[in-house]
Amino acid sequence: MQFFLKAPAKINWFLSVVGKRPDGYHDLVSLMQCVDLFDGLQFSGSDQIEVISEIEVPVKDNLVYKAAMLLREKTSYRGGASIRLRKEIPMAAGLGGGSSDAAFTLLGLNRLWGLGLGREQLMGLAADIGSDVPFFIAGSTAMVEGRGERVMPLAAALEATLLLVNPGIAVSAGWAYGRCNPGLTKIPFDIKLFCQAFAGKDRAALSDMIFNDLEAAVAAEYPVIAEIKERLIAEGAVAACMSGSGSTVFGVFGSEEEALRAANGMSPYWRRVVKTLSENYDV
């Protein structure tokens, strides 16, 4: 058997860091959504677990490898798999690329190995790999709480055209969380109001509700983050915000044409016009 899966990137519409936990992680409240920028994963049978990729990631940091090893260990499966990874999502960029690859490795191997695990079981394993991994098992739009393991899928379809801009700085999530001041937070957050503002294209309300508590700390070290944000607004974005722990900044645009025009003005940075994903995928 051989098949191909597309692992999407995500953005955080808002990310509120609520407080530091005794285990060193931070409790957060975030609205996350997948976008149509994908890594590719090709699965085929093999005696051992092997990951083939053009990127040089040490085995211990390779979340695809970690996910495969964990799944085999927890299920006592005896065979292996060959997984070919094609990277499109920038790394250490706040877009969840590594986490998505890990989640789709669990989903892919569940199928390849005929394990028959359900979504809940896969989400439990996903949480052991990384804080963002359960979100990608759950579906395309969700409120995420706790360390990231409490995922509440959202039925509302938030359809938007975004311009992603990345200045090529790799930000470590641990570093970003370590520098932020928890409790700056704007919760309680009303998801209904967010959806209303979204549907009504309410520029003022949206720019207020799209925020990231990690942004100030990361922008203090890398002023280019704030510059990109200002440029996106100047180019006509309804709102702009850093995603995850950075360094990607997204701008929300009224149309694909506007986003493409803005992209022309954002040289020399990596940039991509994307659409949000709303449909959920099968396990």
Residues of this chain that interact with ligand C5P (CB under 6 A) are 25-26, 28, 130-132, 147-148, 173-174, 177
Minimum distance from CB of 216 to ligand C5P (Å)?
16
Closer CB to ligand C5P, residue 137 or residue 173? Answer: 173
Please report the DSSP string for 153-209 in residue order: E--S----EEEEEE-S----HHHHHHHS-TT----S--HHHHHHHHHTT-HHHHHHH
Active site annotation includes 132: yes
How far is it, in rounded angstroms, from Cα 65 to Cα 83?
9
Which of 221, 229, 225 has its CA nearest to residue 246? 225
**Residues 39, 101, 132, 213: which is the catalytic one?**
132
**Residues 10, 39, 101, 229: which is the catalytic one?**
10
Please report the DSSP string for 102-167 in residue order: HHHHHHHHHHHTT----HHHHHHHHHHH-TTHHHHHH-SEEEEEETTTEEEE--S----EEEEEE-
Minimum distance from CB of 154 to ligand C5P (Å)?
19
Tokens of 76: 């006592």
Minimum distance from CB of 215 to ligand C5P (Å)?
15
Active site annotation includes 47: no
Tokens of 238: 């309804």
Minimum distance from CB of 126 to ligand C5P (Å)?
11
Closer CB to ligand C5P, residue 113 or residue 177? Answer: 177
Closer CB to ligand C5P, residue 96 or residue 108? Answer: 96
Closer CB to ligand C5P, residue 12 or residue 166? Answer: 12
> Which amino acids are annotated catalytic?
10, 132
